[in-house]
Amino acid sequence: MTRDTAIGALVVLAVGGQAGADLYLVAFEAEHPANYYRLSTLDASVELVATYPKSKNMFELDLGVDGHYYGLGSDWYGIYRVDPQSGDYEELFSIYAQQFPSGALTVSTDGELWVTSFGFETKLWQWDIEHDYLLDITHIPADIVPVAMAQRQDGVLVMTHAYDGTVHAVDPVTGESQLLGTIAGAEGAVLSFALEKSSGKTFMLARDADEVVALYEVDLFSLEATWVGDLPRDAEYYGIAWLPCAADFNLDGELNVLDFVALQLAWQAGDDAADVNADGVLDVLDFVSFQGLFQEGCA
């Protein structure tokens, strides 16, 4: 049986559906390990996924369009490509010698990584993920110290200001900013956004004056937020990122035959991502495992 025949025999009843996903949550505890949680978008309940030494702490994460996570770490304020489940990470660049990171980081829909820093001035750093090089450093108004950042579906880059919770739209090329307002329905400072790229569905973490951190669903156009739930008070929470559904292989937010096609292409290219059953071998059993995941669907 050829590769294509084996694959074709499995791609039979692929029906469409929404992928759905929970979130990754990064946090520090009193002993200062790096903790990664699975955070429910239904009720804000948390489930510990992994714990690693402090040197692997990430203040913020975002899911890239290439399926990797990108984060701002505590180790010399480096920007990393990171696997929060294994703890493995690769430094892309460091801003330690020039600026202090303000904590805002996001990956754009066209594959650019943006991160902000401040010192005598506030800067927006742009990194090309596909080619791994620094594209540009843009100066933005010094009276904005961003702590959370996201790109809306219309391409507008929005940032929250650390001290008063206002939201600004910032042009990543010119650095020009426009005040959009404040987020209604949420208390305290915004810590992090997690925007699902295909649907535009967005969640955020915010901390109130009593140090209670809560999860909200937010509309970045109307700036209206809906409370989902409070998080446990036994950790210091920093960032959230989308946790994709395992059956959504091409990360487009849908479950359909295109996920099987993407798996086939990755498998034929020898990409480790196609080792669905994680047995170290690329064979037909990976497609059997993937078909099981697909039939289970996503919450």
40 token code pair: 């429910």
pTM of the model: 0.80
Judge whether 189 and 204 are in contact, CB under 8 Å. no
Q: In the structure encoding, which two tokens stand for residue 158, read together?
A: 């929005």
Residues linked to residue 138 through DSSP beta bridges, in sequence order = 124
Res 271: pLDDT: 82
CA–CA separation, 143 and 162 (whole Å): 10
Cα separation, 156 vs 177, in Å, equals 11
Distances in Å between the Cα of 199 and the Cα atoms of 42, 152, 170, 288 are 17, 10, 22, 28
pLDDT tens, the chain, 299 aa long:
344 444 444 444 445 555 556 898 988 876 667 788 989 999 999 998 888 776 667 788 898 877 788 988 876 678 888 877 677 788 888 876 566 766 789 998 888 999 988 877 888 999 998 888 888 889 988 888 888 999 998 999 999 988 777 999 999 999 999 999 999 988 788 999 998 876 778 999 999 888 899 999 999 999 999 999 999 988 888 899 988 777 777 766 677 888 888 888 888 888 877 888 878 888 888 888 888 888 877 66
pLDDT of residue 248: 78
pLDDT at 88: 78
CB-CB contact of 183 with 218 (8 Å): yes
C-alpha to C-alpha distance for 129 and 106, rounded to whole angstroms: 12
Q: How many CB atoms within 10 Å of residue 284?
A: 15
3-state secondary structure of 272: helix
Residue 253: predicted pLDDT: 65
Q: Nearest Cα to 289, choosing from 10, 85, 9?
A: 10
Q: Supply the pLDDT for residue 75.
A: 64
pLDDT confidence of residue 229: 96
Name the H helices within the chain. 3-8, 257-268, 284-296
Listed residue (8, 113, 32, 34) closest to 70, CA to CA: 113
Of the CATH numbers 2.40.440.10, 2.120.10.30, 3.20.20.220, 3.40.50.1370, which one belongs to the domain with range 22-243? 2.120.10.30
Domain chopping of the chain, boundaries = 3-15+248-296, 22-243
Cβ contacts of residue 202 below 8 Å, gap of 6+? 150, 193, 194, 195, 196, 217, 218, 219, 220
Report yes or no: 27 and 54 within 8 Å, Cβ to Cβ: no
Give the per-residue pLDDT at 202.
93
